[in-house]
Amino acid sequence: MTRDGRATVFVYGTLRAGGVRAIPTLFPAARLVGTGAVTGRLRDFGAYPGLVLDPAGPAITGEVYEVSDSALRAMDEIERYDPADEAGSYYLRRRVPVTLAAGGTVQAWTYECGARLRELGSPIMATDWIAHARAKGELPPEAWPDGAAIDRQAPPARAARPDAASAQ
């Protein structure tokens, strides 16, 4: 993970302040570095977004946090990212340059929606998921494409996913 046990992450959706899984709530020891943006496009999956990184895309609004390596691993679970099985992961953790609103650029981890998940969402023009979600009003119940409920409090267990067998 990192040499000093800390990682820098860029979040753009439900892990942002105002999201249902806000980092400050889940990981109180996280430190807000600031707001920032990456280039890409958002997809709407109902109760949560997905990011498709695209250097030619608009600036996607988010927040940058410094978190512990254990918090980063927990986020991998939340986002259903398995570095040993990227093809079976819903999101992929990627290192990206983030332009900070206060000036400067930092390298941070972010979660890009994987190919399997990407096609299930609708592209949206919005560049700020929190504002988009508020404009939508009441969000549908959170569930993964395989129908599994999303636990807002704790990362899902790494048990076999029901859809993993169908992908083989």
- Torsional sign, CA 27, 30, 35, 40: negative
Domain membership of residue 34 as a residue range: 6-136
pLDDT digits (tens, 9 = 90+) for 150-165: 555 544 444 333 333 3
Whether the CB-CB separation of 23 and 67 falls below 8 Å is answered with yes
Whole-prediction pTM: 0.83
Residue 60 resides in a domain: yes
Residue 31 resides in a domain: yes
Number of domains in the chain: 1
Q: What is the pLDDT of residue 160?
A: 38
Torsion-angle region of residue 116: left (phi > 0), alpha (psi -120 to 50) or beta? alpha
Residue 153 resides in a domain: no
Average pLDDT on 110-135 reads 91
Residue 12 resides in a domain: yes
Residue 141 resides in a domain: no
- Domain of residue 38, CATH code: 3.10.490.10
Residue 150 resides in a domain: no
- DSSP per residue over 122-145, as a string? EEES-S-HHHHHHHH-SPPPPB-T
pLDDT digits (tens, 9 = 90+) for 47-95: 889 999 999 999 999 999 999 999 999 999 999 999 999 999 999 999 9
